Structures are given as structure tokens and as C-alpha cells.
Amino acid sequence: MSGPTAAHPEDLEPEQTQGFKLSARKTMDEYQQLDQDDEAMRKWKASLGLGSGDSISDPNDPRKVIILSLGLEVQDRSDIIIDLSQPGALETLSKHPFTIKEGATFRMKARFKVQHQILSGLKYVQVVSRMGLKNKMQEMIGSYPPNTSDKQEYEKRFEPETAPSGMIGRGKYSAVSRFVDDDNQTHLQFEWSFEIKKDW
């Protein structure tokens, strides 16, 4: 198949919030030292997960975000989970399409780990292609502090989607997805596909 690689790079550019300007980045040490004598500030930092538990960031792994797994949740069915820690997982994802029943409501979810520094404005951008037509969606995942021994990973469940239905909606769809942050740094980009069928 020609696949979603035909998508133009700008297709996967995240939409920017009008009037939003990034503040200067602080290191984790700077956040830890911020107003140490201010009880309200300590509580605010604790609500962000700062200063709670020991760091589990791997000094030998420079990645700021590690996407651990991707999943597909469908009501009354077992979740489909792609374990990205397994070698060749992304290649398998691109070659073996998901099957989704027409009209079914489903949602994607991602498990991920943040390390070394605070992650600002992680977004998931997806472009689905079929017969020359493209559909783009974006999901805001959010900002997260590095994981610690008290909170070793995060999970984000995306907004529910409804699969197309009817004869025109059935068929194979190609997709390309990107996890990108406010610095426009791509943390993961991959191709995948799915088929809409009359039944599971």
C-alpha cells in the first residue's frame, strides 16, 4: 500500500493556541529550589508530583518521553495493547491493521514515562487517509513532571471516537501519528492502519 508516508510533513504539525506563549524553561533543580520556605508553593509543587519519591530517570537514556504502549479500548471487548518495549512493535503495527466494527465507539490510550525534565504540552496528532482524502485530529495530552518511584508512569485515555458505518465507510484506512510537545520536539512518529468491517 502507498500508506500514510505520502502525507506531507505539515499535515502532522500541531495546532497552536492563539495568544499562548511559552515561559522560560526551568530545570528540575530550579523547580525544587523554588520558594522552599513558601508552604503554598510546596503544596503546588507536590500537586505536580515534584519532590515526591526518588527519580527513576535513566541517565543513559536521553529521551524526555518514552511511549510504553498504545491501546485500543472498545466497550465489551478486550483491549488491544501494543507493547512498544518489544522489538519490532512499530513495524508490526504498520503491517497488521486493527479491525474495528462499523459504528463502534472506541478510544485510544497511551502509557508513557517522562524523565529528566518537565514535559510541556504533549500532544497527539493523527492523520487518517483513505482514497486520497485525509482527516486530521489532535488530542492534548498535557504537561507532566518526570516520573518518580511514587508515580512510575502515566496513562492518557483519549476522547471516544465512532467508527464510520455503511458500505462507503467500510474498508482499509492508513494513518500516521505523532507525539509532539510545545517545543515542537517529536517523541514518537509511526504509521499504522485499520479496517472498518461489518462485524468483528
- Name residue 83's amino acid: D
Question: What total of structural domains would you count in the chain?
Answer: 1
* Per-residue confidence (pLDDT) for residue 92, from 0 to 100: 86
- 25: Cβ–Cβ under 8 A, 6 or more apart, which residues? 117, 118, 120
Whole-angstrom Cα Rg for the chain? 19
Residue ranges of E strands in the chain: 65-74, 80-83, 98-101, 105-114, 119-130, 133-144, 154-157, 161-162, 171-180, 186-197
Per-residue pLDDT, 93 = 84
Burial profile 15-37: b = 16 or more Cβ within 10 angstroms, e = fewer: eeeeeeeeeeeeebeebeeeeee
Q: Could you tell me if 192 and 175 are in contact, meaning their C-beta atoms sit under 8 angstroms apart? A: yes
Q: Residues 19-46: pLDDT tens digits?
A: 445 454 555 555 555 555 667 666 666 6
pLDDT at 46: 62
What's residue 48's pLDDT? 60
Residue 170 lies in a domain: yes
In a domain, 156, yes or no: yes
Nearest to residue 4, comparing CAs of 72, 81, 67, 97? 97
Read off the CATH number of the domain in which 175 is found. 2.70.50.30
Assigned domain for 15 exists = no
In a domain, 34, yes or no: no
**Is residue 44 one of the residues assigned to a domain?**
no
Q: Which residues contact 155 (CB under 8 A, 6 or more apart)?
A: 109, 110, 111, 112
Residues above pLDDT 70, as percent of the chain: 77
Q: Which domain holds residue 174?
A: 56-197
Residue 124 within a domain: yes
DSSP assignments along 144-159, one per residue = EPPPBSSS--EEEEPP
Q: Is there a domain that residue 70 lies in?
A: yes
Grid look-up 514518537 returns 188
Kindly state the helix (H) or strand (E) to which residue 168 belongs, with its residue range.
Answer: helix 166-169
Helix (H, G, I), strand (E, B) or coil at 33: helix
Are 161 and 170 in contact by the 8 Å Cβ rule? The answer is no
30, 21, 16, 22: which is closest to 117 by C-alpha?
30
What does the pLDDT read at residue 11?
A: 75
Q: What is the pTM of this model?
A: 0.78
Q: Does residue 37 sit within a domain?
A: no
* 32 vs 97, more confident: 97
